[in-house]
Structure 1
């Protein structure tokens, strides 16, 4: 899956902090630390090497020891101040307190005791350091979805009980399944239930606003091995491989959609490969960026999208042809 720019930025910043103060770290060790390949580490170092503060002359840039680099060892020689502890202003501290309180109110029931304790400790210390400004903050994180569904999810998480849900997926297909809830996840302006689906025998993400009904069962949840990044959507590898060739202004597709790979072209356009299990979702995506689509493969997908567009236009009747109503 292609990496988002925000994810790479976090790793680049973390890499500077990790390397600071160390005499030199083999590329393989850096790769293991950040969970990427050695090739990706070398690419990251090349990017950091031309990054710095305004002026952007050689003495303004983050720097590494070139001799060590040639030997497969990364040694940071100039961090440009990126490793200095950050001081939060009042506004920043209040925003962080608000975010932590929202997390605690909505997500704490699904956290294990260790993580819940860390969250409570950080919130307590930050609130004390912020002072009176934090006292005025009253935030509640609203989980999108039917109230009775949200209540059932919260009860199941707190009581560690199994759930029976009716779920409508992106293709408007309704299924009923039993799941062992793991935790609530928020992201991309949506709320999700991360759960172990007994029907699929694996972890799954369910959009809360697509859960039509939720019933707390008397059965307790079982312990399941859930990957650390399970709360990140990953396309089904069995899905059809579709390639979109898009103009540069549709770059948001590569940034916000789970794609397998991205190939950039010299004219600024790019190609993305996607695994698709829901054709309706793909048609919706392509119609969103229709003006920026240069090619679609396989061609059958392009024909299906065109047919959908024509059907939508015909539904408008005379309005589609510009005739007065």
Structure 2
């Protein structure tokens, strides 16, 4: 069975006390149905919340459910520590969310089913900002239709405008079946220029990715939009490429067995890596650490992954990969020393 992501569990842990406060005495089974999990998961969540709270961990510092109700299969709060109140967004968080919704609206411009939900959420966030604006602070006032004034979102304007430009080009190329010219920076900060035939635009919830046939690599490749520094729709038509052609291309390595792999042992704080990087396998040890097997595009990509794990990393296999990562880190430190001189 696939492991439930930590982000899903955290969302449920934050929502559970507020929901129980609105439904005191609710049964564990009802709570499980409401959150779409098993009763055992709800019981585990309550046990987690019971040891969560403010620093000190003394009486009154921890979230507390009524123990007798819990033994009887019901849920009620004795000490919520504020978790019975809905989580409030800060003004900056609300502005960030509104700008992200605008980008999402551009991404799903052709999805008629999503448009009403996005528009409704935009109005709700804008209403929140309006209600929170101070009456004597003209700069803080927010027009519900126009959204936050430019003075409040200047740090997001360039980013969202650039994303909208990229999306416009990608949508146009997909719609008209045109080739694209990209200037792209890889995960290892290596810039390149290439012509690609777009196939699809995807999102994993964190990043938007253009899937396309790369004419220089003669293979299907994925390009994260936030790493595309320049894009141009060409007059040349995009050509469809069959998967069988890619597999038979002698210049392209499609063998999963020949792609480099690494086994990483991570502290519990490194669970974020498991959620952001596809893993071939993962297991949790008795002490809470994680042992995961990842497959990289190439050796350089794996070295970058090891370095990004940082203090969350306990061990790396094979040993020469750990050595290569240590050498890369030392080289980076030496570069800083040279710059300082």
| TM-score, normalised with respect to structure 2 | 0.58
Given the superposition, is the C-alpha separation of residues 287 and 26 from structure 1 closer, same or farther in structure 2, using an over 3 Å criterion?
Answer: closer
Unaligned runs of 5+ in 1: 220-236, 320-325
- The one of 66, 83, 104 equivalent to 1:107 is 104
1:225 maps to: none
* Alignment pair present for 1:134 and 2:152: no
SS of structure 2 residue aligned to 1:139: helix
Given the superposition, is the C-alpha separation of residues 85 and 69 from structure 1 closer, same or farther in structure 2, using an over 3 Å criterion?
Answer: closer
2:166–2:225 CA contact under 8 A, matched in 1: no
2:118 maps to: 116
Given the superposition, is the C-alpha separation of residues 160 and 120 from structure 1 closer, same or farther in structure 2, using an over 3 Å criterion?
Answer: farther
2:76 maps to: 76
1:262–1:273 CA contact under 8 A, matched in 2: yes
Deviations 1:169-210 (A, max 9, x none): 54769783423336796x5xxxx32567699xxxx7724214
1:193 maps to: 208
1:25–1:74 CA contact under 8 A, matched in 2: yes
Alpha-carbon separation, structure 1, partners of 2:328 and 2:54: 53
Alpha-carbon separation, structure 2, partners of 1:25 and 1:60: 25
1:303 maps to: 320
Unaligned runs of 5+ in 2: 109-113, 143-148, 215-221, 238-255, 336-341
* Alignment pair present for 1:285 and 2:305: yes
- The one of 171, 177, 180 equivalent to 2:200 is 180
SS of structure 1 residue aligned to 2:84: coil
SS of structure 2 residue aligned to 1:178: strand
Alpha-carbon separation, structure 2, partners of 1:10 and 1:176: 39
Given the superposition, is the C-alpha separation of residues 306 and 57 from structure 1 closer, same or farther in structure 2, using an over 3 Å criterion?
Answer: closer
SS of structure 2 residue aligned to 1:103: helix
SS of structure 1 residue aligned to 2:85: coil
CA RMSD of aligned residues (A): 5.0
Given the superposition, is the C-alpha separation of residues 46 and 275 from structure 1 closer, same or farther in structure 2, using an over 3 Å criterion?
Answer: same
1:41 maps to: 42
2:261–2:296 CA contact under 8 A, matched in 1: no
| TM-score, normalised with respect to structure 1 | 0.60
Deviations 1:281-322 (A, max 9, x none): 22223245678865333x3xx2244257568979999x9xxx
Question: By how many angstroms is 1:61 displaced?
Answer: 3.9
Question: By how many angstroms is 1:272 displaced?
Answer: 3.3
Give the 5 Å matches for 1:306-321: 306-307=323-324
2:95 maps to: 98
Question: By how many angstroms is 1:35 displaced?
Answer: 4.8
Alpha-carbon separation, structure 2, partners of 1:54 and 1:289: 27
Given the superposition, is the C-alpha separation of residues 207 and 42 from structure 1 closer, same or farther in structure 2, using an over 3 Å criterion?
Answer: farther
Considering Cα pairs closer than 8 Å and 6+ residues apart, tell me whether 1 or 2 has the greater RCO: 1
1:177–1:197 CA contact under 8 A, matched in 2: yes
SS of structure 2 residue aligned to 1:20: helix
1:234 maps to: none
1:255 maps to: 272
Given the superposition, is the C-alpha separation of residues 42 and 241 from structure 1 closer, same or farther in structure 2, using an over 3 Å criterion?
Answer: farther
